[in-house]
Amino acid sequence: MTAFNKISFILSKWYNTNKRDLPWRQTSDPYRIWISEIILQQTQVRQGLNYYHRFIERFPDIISLAEADEQEVLKLWQGLGYYSRARNLHFAAKQLNNQFEGKFPDNYNKILSLKGVGEYTAAAVGSIAFNLPYAVLDGNVARVISRLFAVSEPVNTVKGKKILQNLATELLNKTEPGEHNQAMMEFGALRCTPKSPDCNTCPLNDRCEAFRLNLVSSLPVKENRIKQRTRYFLYLVFDHGHYTWIRKRNDKDIWQGLFEFPLLEPENLDDDTVMQTIERKTGTSNLEVLYLSEPYKHILSHQVIMARFIVLKAACPEHVLRAGMIKKSEITDYPVSRLTERFFEERPF
């Protein structure tokens, strides 16, 4: 048995003893495995589990998802963030329905052709559902491999990813690629954790170069590339009897396809600037303010959003703010950002 085979054997043994009981591990249905992988791309299992159950209950198969309205898909996704995942999932379901007769392909390159599916997702679905011999490389796997082989190249560079992918492929148990890939991911999630892993009792500590060299806390290496910018959002919540106004975000920006109150982006959110911005935009100072929230801070991967909500006793100047009128009682039917959801939680509307 080679050194790589031994590592794979130890990981599989550990996995079969310690794996979590998760619904997508109780099926070989590629559709359900695919849904779970997309949900978990930017979401931890404890948060994603309930979303998975709701999603599968409403869309149990490819056809039901393909025929759904995008607004309903986004509403079910509400709170998970990274909404392009939901839009891509919906688009890919239509691809599967139109190009593959409603069936999930058992070919790696065809899986890879689906909207929103990259090499990791294609390898995960292909190996778990169809036993295709492709190694996954997500954040958990990258951390395990970086430590096992003391890889000093940053994991978020082209060179670093190539090194890690090659090592992942060499480690892959091609007889049981699905179990191997799940073992690698689970080991990174539960055992070889980002901070303070218990290396002294790790079943792989005698084969881990980072442990031997006392480098565990410094690996994996990441290049700091993200530069966040701050934006100031001012939401105008018009209270006009039983009605209010909302609009759909259609620009190529964050939260595309979600709904929101009419939005302004002032230079800052102090009280004077808020009122001056509203008066300048609406062309009137005759607005009764019912409520002005304190600033909300909402952090995204590349942006920090500082936002305030102002409730105004007035009708919305539609020609100015490009919004449509709805009944206030219907507002929860629309998919909104987590930021707007927080406003509803603090001040039911």
Question: The CATH number of the domain where 171 resides is what?
Answer: 1.10.340.30
Judgement on whether residues 195 and 312 belong to the same structural domain of the protein: no
Domain that includes residue 247, residue range? 229-346
pLDDT the model gives residue 281:
86
Does 318 have pLDDT greater than 70? no
- CA–CA gap between residue 63 and residue 149 (Å, rounded): 44
Among residues 37, 179, 186, 260, the one annotated as catalytic is 37
pLDDT the model gives residue 265:
94
Judgement on whether residues 31 and 142 belong to the same structural domain of the protein: yes
Judgement on whether residues 234 and 335 belong to the same structural domain of the protein: yes
Q: Is residue 132 part of a domain?
A: yes
- The per-residue pLDDT for range 140-159, each reduced to its tens digit, is 999 999 999 999 999 999 99
Instruction: List CB contacts of 219: < 8 A, sequence separation 6 or more.
Output: 143, 146, 147, 150, 151, 152, 210
Strand partners, 326: 244
Judgement on whether residues 131 and 275 belong to the same structural domain of the protein: no
Judgement on whether residues 283 and 180 belong to the same structural domain of the protein: no
Q: Which of 154, 189, 218 is the last residue of a domain?
A: 218
- In this structure, what is the dihedral angle of CA atoms 335, 336, 337, 338, given to the nearest 10 degrees? -90
Q: Which residue has the tokens 């599967």?
A: 96
Q: Is residue 224 part of a domain?
A: no
Q: How many domains does the chain have?
A: 2
Please give the residue that has the higher pLDDT: either 323 or 312: 312
Please indicate whether residue 279 is annotated as part of the active site: no
- CA–CA gap between residue 264 and residue 281 (Å, rounded): 8
CB 149 within 8 A of CB 167: yes
Coil, helix or strand at residue 235:
strand
Judgement on whether residues 137 and 239 belong to the same structural domain of the protein: no
Judgement on whether residues 115 and 55 belong to the same structural domain of the protein: yes
- CA–CA gap between residue 99 and residue 113 (Å, rounded): 11
Question: What secondary structure does DSSP assign to 98-134, as a single string?
Answer: HHSTT---SSHHHHHTSTT--HHHHHHHHHHHH----
| Residue 248 binned pLDDT confidence (cut-offs 50, 70, 90) | very high
